[in-house]
């Protein structure tokens, strides 16, 4: 599962591609448990909108839109968020990767694991969300709508203090690993 460092690196790399660019269209695969918001609702809600800010809350990426709605993206175990111009061999299947020389660089072509595609009004490179196992999640929140997924998260792992961990450990008998993995105590830590 992408853990906090990988999610933060993804946020930093993808932020310039998402923030400030009006969305012309959002292309999705059919409805599934990957989409917590039905794809047709998601597409309609984001069309013409602009992501003003992209931040991370635990392992969630949160896009704050220009109408005060929010887009939550969770990468799950195998999720990837990347530019249409990506040339990473990690985007290929193991079989396809094995048939290429190490120096080969390929432009990404959407496949059946590509569940989300942001197309922008400026005609520039799009952004894709790909998840082989579909453990990732996509959720749109209307302005003012709360999210139990975010509300239950504890202090971010990059902001946690020894005092907080000490206080959390005093409330119950729990193994240290289980305490650290509890997202309600420390958001973003994983196995």
Domain of 11, CATH number, reads 3.20.190.10
* pLDDT class of 149 with cuts at 50, 70, 90: very high
**Same domain, residue pair 156 and 90:** no
Q: What is the mean pLDDT of the chain?
A: 88
pTM across the whole model: 0.86
pLDDT the model gives residue 54: 98
What is the arithmetic mean of pLDDT over 165-175? 88
**Same domain, residue pair 174 and 112:** no
**Same domain, residue pair 94 and 9:** yes
**Same domain, residue pair 106 and 175:** no
Nearest to 149 by CA among 74, 64, 53: 74
**In this predicted model, what pLDDT tens digit does every residue of 98-147 receive, in sequence order?**
566 665 556 667 888 899 999 999 999 999 999 988 899 999 999 999 99
**Same domain, residue pair 137 and 65:** yes
What is the arithmetic mean of pLDDT over 21-35? 93
**Same domain, residue pair 41 and 132:** yes
The alpha-helical segments, DSSP class H, found in 61-161 are 94-98, 148-151
**In this predicted model, what pLDDT tens digit does every residue of 64-100 receive, in sequence order?**
999 999 999 999 988 888 887 766 655 555 555 556 6
Q: Flag whether pLDDT at 9 surpasses 60.
A: yes
The distance of Cα 86 from the centroid of its chain, to the nearest Å, equals 17
Report the alpha-carbon distance of residue 143 to residue 141 in Å, rounded.
7
**Same domain, residue pair 47 and 80:** yes
**Same domain, residue pair 73 and 36:** yes
The distance of Cα 52 from the centroid of its chain, to the nearest Å, equals 16
What is the arithmetic mean of pLDDT over 5-26? 94
pLDDT the model gives residue 191: 78
- Domain boundaries, position 55: 4-146
**Same domain, residue pair 71 and 104:** yes
**Same domain, residue pair 120 and 77:** yes
**Same domain, residue pair 14 and 89:** yes
**Same domain, residue pair 121 and 59:** yes
Work out how many domains the chain is built from and give that number: 2
Distances (CA, A) of 176 to 52, 159, 183, 189: 38, 18, 13, 12
């Amino acid at each position: 599962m992408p853990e906090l460092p990988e999610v933060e690196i993804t946020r930093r790399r993808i932020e310039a591609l998402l923030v400030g660019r009006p969305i012309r269209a959002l292309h999705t695969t059919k409805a599934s448990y990957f989409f917590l918001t039905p794809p047709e609702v998601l597409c309609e809600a984001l069309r013409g909108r602009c992501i003003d800010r992209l931040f991370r809350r635990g392992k969630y990426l949160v896009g704050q839109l220009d109408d005060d709605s929010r887009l939550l993206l969770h990468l799950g175990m195998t999720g990837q968020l990347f530019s249409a111009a990506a040339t990473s061999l990690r985007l290929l299947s193991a079989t396809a990767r094995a048939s290429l020389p190490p120096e080969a660089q390929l432009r990404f072509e959407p496949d059946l694991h590509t569940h989300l595609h942001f197309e922008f009004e400026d005609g520039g490179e799009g952004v894709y969300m790909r998840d082989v196992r579909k453990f990732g999640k996509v959720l749109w929140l209307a302005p003012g709508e709360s999210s139990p997924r975010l509300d239950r998260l504890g202090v971010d792992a990059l902001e946690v203090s020894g005092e907080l961990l000490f206080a959390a450990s005093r409330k119950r008998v729990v193994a240290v690993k289980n305490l650290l993995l509890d997202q309600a105590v420390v958001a973003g830590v994983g196995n």
